[in-house]
Chains A and B, each alone.
Chain A
Amino acid sequence: MEKRIKIIDGNEAAAYVAHKTNEICAIYPITPSSNMGEWADQWSSEGQTNIWGTVPQISELQSEGGASGAVHGALQTGALTSTFTASQGLLLMLPNMFKIAGELTPTVFHVSARSVACQALSIFGDHSDVMAVRSTGFALLASDSVQEVMDNALIAQAATLETRVPFVHFFDGFRTSHEINKILLLSDDEMRAMLDDDLIFAHRQRAMNPDRPFIRGTAQNPDVFFQARETVNPFYVKAPDIIQKVMDTFAHITGRHYHLFDYVGAPDAERIVILMGSGASTARETIKYLQERGEKVGMIQVHLYRPFSPRHFLAAIPTSVKSIAVLDRTKEPGADGEPLYKDVVTVFSEAMTEGTMPTADMPRIVGGRYGLSSKEFTPAMIKGVLDNLTLSHPKNHFTIGINDDLSQTSLPYDPAFITESGKAVRAMFYGLGADGTVGANKNSIKIIGEETDFHVQGYFVYDSKKAGSRTVSHLRFGPDPIYSTYLIQSANFVGCHQFIFLEQTDVLKNAADGAVFLLNSPYPAEEVWDKLPRKVQEQVIAKNLKLYVIDAYKVAEKTGMGSRVNTIMQTCFFAISGVLPRDEAIAKIKNAIKKTYGAKGEEIVRKNYNAVDQSLANLHQIPVPEKATGTIEMPPTVSLEAPEFVQNVTAEIMAGRGDDLPVSIFPEDGTYPSGTTRWEKRNISLYVPVWDPEICIQCGNCSLICPHSVIRVKTYHESMLQGAPKSFKSTPLRGKDVPEGTRYTLQSSVEDCTGCALCMEVCPAKSKDEVGRKALEMEPKEPILEQERENWDFFESLPDVDRGQLRLHTVRDVQYTRPLFEFSGACSGCGETPYVKVLSQLFGDRAIIANATGCSSIYGGNLPTTPWTVNKAGRGPSWSNSLFEDNAEFGFGFRLTLDKQREYAGELLQRLKPELGDDLVTALLTNPQSGEAQIATQRARVTELKEKLQGNKTPAARHLLSIADSLVKRSVWILGGDGWAYDIGYGGLDHVLASGKNVNALVLDTEVYSNTGGQASKSTPRGAVAKFAASGKPAAKKDLGMMAMCYGNVYVARIAIGANSAQTLKAFLEAEAYDGPSLIIAYSHCIAHGINMQKGLDQQKLAVKSGHWILYRFNPELAAQGKNPLVIDSKEPSIPIKEYAYNEIRYKMLTLSKPEEAARLIKLAQEDVDMRWKLYQKWAAE
C-alpha cells in the first residue's frame, strides 16, 4: 500500500479520523481543541465525505454542555457521533458522559488535554481535565505524538464500537495538539478495514425508534439502582482485551503496533518511570540515550488508562525492576498521591496480596507531578526522576521541573543534560506575530517535510499579548523520526527577526557551539557589530557563531511586502542553514509560495518571488572580531521605581525567566496587585500621536476613543508648569468662565501606544490652512521618545482634576477622568477596550467587576502584567474572572454580598447609634449617593465611622468595622463578549436580568468568538462568514436587547461609541443609576471582522447608518413616568446594508468564494434590517 505522508498537527490528525468515521459532530470552541471542530466544519462545508461516502453533519452548540447533550441525543438515535473539547469544556460534558457511558453507548470524544482553571486560568496542557472524568465510565486512551493521535483516534473508534464503552481519546494540549509533525496518513481503506459494519448496524439497532419502541433513561429507586449500575461490569472487564485486539489488528493493517502499556528500555531495567501523554516521547528518547550508555533503566508508556488493566500492566513490567517513579501531569490537592501513581500502587499492592507480582520483591514506588500547564518536561528532568530512584530513600510526592522552595517537593536535576541528536538540524526563530515568522516557518516545515525524506517537527511559543506579540518557533529536521516533545535546548540555527529582541531577551541562550545566527538588522552590514549589545557580542564570540545579517524591512519595503519579513527571512534561512542545497531550496520556496498564495492571486505570488530574489542579494556574513567591544548594555526590564513584587516577579516573567521563579514567591490564592501594565513599556509602535495645541479644540474624543488609554488630558493652573520639561505642551483651556491662568495639556504615553491611529481618525479638528492636518497626527516615535518620556512623567506629576467638578455625561469632561484600565495587551485599535476604559473612568473607583472568559479576560487579566489599575487614592476596580459560562451569576453573587452587607451594616449602625451618634448614623443611612459629590461625602463619613469604631471591641462594632466599606455605593459590572452573553452564558444572564437586582451587564459585542479565533456565535449577523459558518451565517443575529426589554424592568441600551459617543456616555450613566438590572450591548469592531482597524470607527458609523446597529435606550424609569421607555437614538437607515458589510472581509469573502450565496444572504440581511427598524419604530411610537 502506498504510504501517504502528511505534515499536520495533532488536532488535525484527530479531526481527520473523526470526520472520516462519524456521521455527526456536535462542537463548541475551546482552546486548544477549537481547531478540531474547525477542520471538521471546513471539510464538511467543502463536501468532503466520510469513509461511507456521506458528508458528516457538523453542528455548533451554545456550550460544551449543549454539545454533549446533542452528542447524547445523536447517539441515542443511532448516529456515529463525536465531539472535540478540552478543560472546562470537558467538565461541562460530565453529566452527559455519565449518561452516555451508563447506557453503554459507543462514541469517541477527542480531547486536547488542558489545565482546569484553579488559582488562574491556563490554556496550556496537562491532564487535570481528563483526570476529572475518570469516574464517568469513559475509557481514557492517551496519545503521545501526532502519529499516535491519528492512530489512536481510529483505534478508539473501532474499540468503542466493539466494547460499547465510550472513549475519551486525549493528547496534550498545545504540545501535541499544535505540534506539527510528519506522519503517515491513514487511508480510507485502512479505516474501513478497522471498522466492522456489523458493529455499526448493532449501534443503529440499539437506537430509539418508534417502530420498535422502548424506554431508556428511567428513574430508579434504592431498591434497584445499585444492581442495575453493576450490570455494565462485564463490558469493562472485557474491554482491555478487546482494545488490545483492536491494536493488534491495527498493527496488522498499518505496521504500527501499540499496546495498552508499552515498555521501552533495558530488558533488565531496575529503575523505570511510568507516564502517559507527550511526556512519554521525551522519556523514551531519554531512556534510549541512557540505555545506550549502559544504564538499567526503562519506562512504561500508558496508552489505556481506563479501564485500567492490572493484568496487562503487570505483564509489561520487567521482572528486574526494583524502583518505580510514576509521573502524573495533574494535581489533586489534598490527595495522598496523584491518580496514576495511586493506580500503580494499588495494582502492585493487590498483586502482592494475590501473589501475581512480576518482580521478586515489592518495588519501591514513588510518584510525582510534572509539566502542569505545559511546563517544559525535558530529558534532564526525566534523568532527575531516575536519579531520585537511585537513592536509598527516594523522595515521594515530588515535583520535577520547578523550584518548590515552599514545600520542598521538587527534585533536583541538571539542566545541562541534553540528549538531542547530532543528526538533526535544530532551528529557533524569534519573531513578532505581525512579521509572519510563524507562517514562514510552517511553510519551511512543509517544504522540507514534503519534498525531502527528512522528518520534521515544528512547535511555536506565543506570548499572551494580542498586539505586538512575540513568537518563538522551534523547528527540528532530521533523517530520523522526531519525538523530542520539548523546546529546543541546543540550536544550531538561531534567527532573530527583530533587532530590538537582542535588548529584551536572551536570544542566544540556546545557541549551540558553531551555530548560525541570522539577524534582521536595520543597520548597514558594516555597522551591525557595534550596534549589538555587549552580552550578545560575547555570546557570538564564545559560541563561535557564524553571524549573518539582512535588513529585511528594507527589502520588504522595496519589494512591496510592507512589514511582513517572513518570506525574506525564510529565504535567508534556507540560503545559510544548509538544510537543503541552496538552489534547490530557493526553487522549493518559490514552489511553496505558489501553493500558499496562488489562491489569493498572481500578484501576491510575484511579489513574494521578488522578495526571495532580493533577499539573497542583501544577505551578508559579518566577520566576528576576537573581542567584544560593545558599549550597549541590556537595560533593566522595568523601571527601578517599580514596586518590589513587580521587580521580583512580574519583571522576571516579562524577561522570559518565569520558569526560574520559585514557588514561594507566588501568591498562594491567585491574588495579584492591580495596575502592573504601567511598568511594561512595550514600545511596539514606530508611530505615535503628536498633539498640535494650536489646532486642538479640546473636545476629548481622542482620549475617549484611545483603546489603550495612552492619551490623557489634564487641566491645571499655569503656576504648576514650573519645572516642566522644555518640550512639554500646554495651552489655555478653552471655554466660558474659565478661571484665569487655567491650562490644558493632552499628553500621550508614547511607550504604551500601539499605533492604531484611532485618535487621529476621530479627531475633528483640522488645520484651517491645511485641512488634511489634524490636531493629532501620527509621527515617527524615535525622534521624540526621550522627550516624551520626560513629558509623560511630568504630566503624571500634575494633580488629577477634581471629579466633583465634572459633568460626566459630556465627552469634554470625561477626558479629565483618570482611566483605571490602561495599556492592555488587546489588539491594536481594539473596539472593545474604549468601553471598558469608559466604565473605569466613570465608576472605576467603586466598581466590582465580574469578567467572563474571553478577549476581555485575557487582555484584562493575563500575566505578566494586567491593566486594571488604581487612582491616586489607591481605589480602583476590583476585578475577577470566574468562568466563561457563569459570569452573570458570578456578578450576581457580588450583588448579593453587597446588598446583604449593606443591610447588615445598616442594622449594626442602628444598634450602635447610641455610641456613634444619631447624626452620623442618619447621615450614613440616608445619603442617596447619586453623584460624585455625595459619594465623596459618604466616603468621608465612613472614614469617620471607622475611626469611631477603632477602639470599640464589642462584637457589633468589630463586625461593623469589617463591613463598613459596603456603606459606600458599589457599582457591580458584569463584562463579557457575545459568546458569553448570547450563547454559553445566556441562561444565566437571562436569569440575572430577570432577578431585578442592581447589576450592570456590559456585552462587548464583536459578533463572533474573537478570543478563540472567530467562531460564529448567535450574535454573528446573517451573511457574515465565521468559523463554523464557513458558508455565511444562514440565520439572523439574535436580538438580545429586545429579548431583555420584554421583561419591562431591565434597562437596555445599544451603543456604538464610534457612531455616537454622547449616547454611549448617557447609556452608561443611566444604566448605572438605574436601581435594577441593566444591559448594555456595545458594538465592538474587531480584527475578526477583517477590517483595517484604523477605520473601525467608520465601520461603527456605517453599522448605525445602515440600520444594522440601531442605537437605543430602554429605560424602565420612563415607563414609571408614563412615557414610552424606548428611545431610539439613531436615524432611519440611510444606506443599504451592503455599503457597511462589504467593507469587511467577513462578508466580502463570501462574495469571492460563493457569490450567489452571498447575494442571497445579503438580500435577507437587508430584509432583517428593514423589518427590525419597523419593529423598533412601532415599539418606540406606542
Chain B
Amino acid sequence: MDLTTKYMGMELKNPLVLSSSPISQKVDDVRRLEDNGASAVVMFSIFEEQIRHDIESLDHLLSAGAESFPEALSYFPDMGEYRVGPDQYLDLIRRTVEAVDIPVIGSLNGVSHEGWITYARQIQDAGARALELNVYYIPTDPDMDARQVEQMYLDVLKAVKGAVTVPVAIKLNPFFSAMANMAKKLDLAGADALVLFNRFYQPDLNLTTMQVEPSLVLSTSAEIRLPLRWIAILHHRVRASLAGTTGVHTGEDLAKYILAGADVVMTTSALLKNGLGHYAKMLQELQIIMENKGYDSVAQMKGAMSQQAVENPAAFERANYIKALEDYKARYMTI
C-alpha cells in the first residue's frame, strides 16, 4: 500500500500531519508522533502580539520600582541575556529539526508587516522546511469592508513569499463571502498550500463570574463537513496543495478528506483525546478502508470524490440539504 503524498512540493510518507498545536512544544512528543506515523509536523504558532507583550511586560516588570528608592535601586538580579522574543521558539524548531526526519513546518501569526517578514525569515533559518501562516483575524471594524479584509490576507502572503524561499501555506477561516474566489486569489498570489480551516478560540460567557472567557472545545468528527466541502470544491481548481484540518478523529475521517482532494490531513484533537499512539491506529484504519475500497495508493484515492469527480457536483453546493430531504421522503413518504 503506497501511502505517500506530496504537500507543497515535499514528499511525505503518508498524509497524516500534526496540525499546529501545543503538542509540538516538546521535542520528545514530536519524536513519538513520528514513530507513530506522523509524516510532518506543523509547529505551534508563534504570535507576534504575544511576543511583543511578553517582551514589554518583562521589560516593565523587571524595572518597575527601580531607581526610585535609595535602598532598592532594583528588585531583581541582572540575568544577562533573556531568551525572549522568538528565541525559544526558534530554538525549539532547531532542536525538533535535529531530532526528527519528517519535515518541520513553522507556524506564524503576525501583526505587523515587519513582524511577518522578520519572523518568517527566522523560522526558515532555524531549519523549518515550510511555513504556515496562521492569519488569525476577526474583522470587527464596521468600517472595514470585505475587500480590505481579503487584501490584508493577500498582502501578508505576498510579503512572506517575498521574504522566504521555503514553501508557504496559508491557514484560512471559513468566513469569506466568496471562498472560492479568495482561494483563487491566494493561489495566484503564490500560496503553496491552503489549510482549511482555522478553528478560532470562541469566547464564552461564564454565568458564575459574569465574565467573558475564552474556551477551546476539541473538535468532533461532525465538524469535518465544512472543510470537506471546500476541499472537494477546490481540488484541481487551485494549484496550491490542500490540507484538511478540523474534525479528524478516525481513519474514516482521514479517508474522506483524501477522497475530497486533500493532499494532507491534519489533526490534534484526536491526539489530545486518545494519546499520541492514536496516529498509528488512524493510519491502520485508513489502510483497511483503502483495502476494502480497492485503492493501492493515496495518490489514486486523492480527489476521487472531489466536486469535479463525483457524479453530482451540485451535491457540494446546495445538495446536501436536498439529499437529506430526499432521504427523508424516500424512507417515510413512499408507503
Contact = CB atoms under 8 A, between A and B. Distances in A.
B82 A469 contact: no
Interface string A204-241: 00000000000000000000000000000000000000
Given A603-B55, A604-B59, A466 B79 contact: no
Interface string B72-84: 1111111111111
B67 interface: yes
B272 interface: no
Contacts of B216: none
A469 B67 CA distance: 10
Contacts of A599: 80-82
Interface stretch (A278-286, A333-341, A1049-1057, A1147-1155): A1147-1155
Contacts of A31: 70-71
Nearest to B74: A1013
Interface in B55-93: 55-56, 58-85, 88
Interface hub of A123, A174, A439, A604 (most chain B Cβ within 10 A): A604
Contacts of B75: 1010, 1013-1014, 1087-1088, 1090
A38 B67 CA distance: 16
Contacts of A32: 70-71
A525 to B, nearest CB: 29
Given A438-B67, A462-B70, A1012-B71, A600 B76 contact: no
Interface stretch (A705-713, A895-903, A1025-1033): A1025-1033
A926 B227 CA distance: 85
A1011 B210 contact: no
Contact of B67 (A436, A771, A1026, A1153): A436
A466 B69 contact: yes
B137 to A, nearest CB: 20
Given A42-B77, A600-B59, A1030-B77, A433 B68 contact: yes
Contacts of B78: 42
A1059 to B, nearest CB: 16
Interface hub of B55, B59, B76, B84 (most chain A Cβ within 10 A): B76
B51 interface: yes
B85 A471 contact: no
A1087 B64 contact: yes
A1159 B85 CA distance: 19
Contact of A1025 (B69, B71, B77): B77
Contacts of A6: none
B236 interface: no
A181 B64 CA distance: 25
B13 interface: no
Nearest to B52: A603
B62 A1090 contact: yes
B59 A462 contact: no
A1145 B74 CA distance: 13
A126 to B, nearest CB: 15
Contacts of A466: 65, 68-69
Contacts of B80: 46, 599, 1153
Interface string A1015-1049: 00000000001110010000000000000000000
A1093 B63 CA distance: 13
Contact of A433 (B51, B52, B65): B65
A601 interface: yes
Contacts of B71: 31-32, 34, 123, 858, 1011-1013
A1012 B72 contact: yes
A453 interface: no
A465 B78 CA distance: 24
Interface in A1119-1156: 1145-1146, 1148-1149, 1152-1153, 1155
B70 A433 contact: no
Contact of A766 (B64, B66, B210): B210
B65 A123 contact: no
Given A439-B66, A1145-B61, A1014 B74 contact: yes
A433 B67 contact: yes
A1011 B73 CA distance: 10
Contacts of A465: 69
Given A466-B69, A600-B58, A1025 B85 contact: no
Contacts of A1145: 58, 61-62, 76
A1010 B62 contact: no
A1062 interface: no
Contacts of A1148: 58
Contact of B79 (A1025, A1087, A1093): A1025
A827 interface: yes
Given A433-B67, A433-B69, A597 B59 contact: yes
A469 B59 CA distance: 20
A1091 interface: yes
Contacts of A123: 70-71
A918 interface: no
Given A471-B67, A1090-B61, A1149 B79 contact: yes
Contacts of A604: 55-56, 59
A1027 B66 CA distance: 14
B85 A603 contact: yes
A439 B58 contact: no
Interface in B208-233: 210-211
Nearest to B53: A603
Nearest to A597: B59
A907 interface: no
Contacts of A1010: 72, 75
Interface string B308-327: 00000000000000000000
A1025 B76 contact: yes
A1012 B65 CA distance: 12
Contacts of B66: 433, 439
Interface in A446-476: 460, 462, 464-466, 469, 471
A1091 B60 CA distance: 10
A1030 B78 CA distance: 8
A1153 B79 contact: yes
A551 B93 CA distance: 45
A104 interface: no
Interface hub of B55, B61, B78 (most chain A Cβ within 10 A): B61
A460 B67 CA distance: 9
B65 A600 contact: no
A466 to B, nearest CB: 5
A1020 to B, nearest CB: 12
Contacts of B211: 771
A827 B65 contact: yes
B69 A469 contact: yes
A1142 B51 CA distance: 16
Interface in A745-772: 766, 771
A1026 B77 contact: yes
A1156 to B, nearest CB: 12
A45 B76 CA distance: 14
Interface string B26-70: 000000000000000000000000011001101111111111111
Interface string B83-110: 1110010000000000000000000000
A1152 B58 contact: yes
Nearest to A431: B67
Given A1090-B75, A1155-B88, A439 B81 contact: no
17 contacts: A38-B77, A41-B77, A433-B66, A437-B67, A439-B63, A442-B67, A460-B67, A471-B67, A600-B55, A601-B51, A603-B51, A766-B210, A1088-B76, A1145-B58, A1145-B61, A1152-B88, A1153-B82
Interface of B: 51-52, 55-56, 58-85, 88, 118, 210-211
Closest 7 CB pairs of A and B: A433-B68, A1013-B72, A601-B55, A438-B67, A1014-B75, A1030-B77, A1153-B79
Given A600-B55, A600-B58, A1149-B79, 19 more contacts: A41-B77, A433-B65, A438-B67, A442-B67, A464-B70, A465-B69, A600-B62, A601-B58, A601-B59, A604-B55, A771-B210, A1026-B76, A1027-B76, A1087-B65, A1088-B76, A1090-B62, A1093-B64, A1146-B76, A1149-B76
